[in-house]
Amino acid sequence: MGTFTAESHAVDGVQVVRLQGSVDASTSTQMEASLRGHLKDGAKKLAVSMKDVTFMSSAGWGLLLSVIKEIRASGGAIGVAAMSAEIRHVYNLLGMKAFVKEYKTVEEAVAALK
């Protein structure tokens, strides 16, 4: 079981969510609470910083895909930013770029989403 935290703040109308630690079956509920909480609070644009994500299981990727679908259905947009080489490798293997755009930095994501 890994540790996980999520912090967030708004920048230019975009909710920046910084994920930290390991996202697995035991911590994915925390990720879900953070991301869906922003949607319930009315956020339409999310930039998800994955710079400090050390591991993401299929539970985490599946949850992210579910959030992507939900935010798009409400007319919103989402992007992921600052992935490590290991996380990006899995992102590419899973074909996630067909569903969510990757940005090199959070600042790039915010600029594109605002």
Q: CA 60 → CA 12, 18, 25, 54, distances in Å?
A: 27, 14, 7, 12
Rounded distance between C-alpha atoms, residue 16 and residue 98, angstroms: 21
Amino acid at 94: L
- Per-residue model confidence (pLDDT) at position 2: 73
Residue 111 has pLDDT above 70, yes or no: yes
- Per-residue model confidence (pLDDT) at position 1: 58
How many domains does the chain divide into?
1
81 belongs to a structural domain:
yes
The predicted-structure confidence for 6-56, as pLDDT tens digits, reads as follows 999 999 999 999 999 999 999 999 999 999 999 999 999 999 999 999 999
Phi, psi of 90 (to 5 degrees): -70, -40
113 belongs to a structural domain:
no
44 belongs to a structural domain:
yes
- Determine if residue 59 is left, alpha or beta; phi over 0 gives left, psi from -120 to 50 gives alpha, anything else beta: alpha
The predicted-structure confidence for 53-80, as pLDDT tens digits, reads as follows 999 999 999 999 999 999 999 999 999 9
114 belongs to a structural domain:
no
CATH code of the domain containing 16: 3.30.750.24
Rounded distance between C-alpha atoms, residue 33 and residue 85, angstroms: 26
19 belongs to a structural domain:
yes
Under a CB-based contact definition with an 8 Å cutoff, are residues 11 and 42 in contact? Answer: no
- Per-residue model confidence (pLDDT) at position 14: 97
pTM, two decimal places: 0.93
Q: Give me the domain span that covers residue 86.
A: 4-108
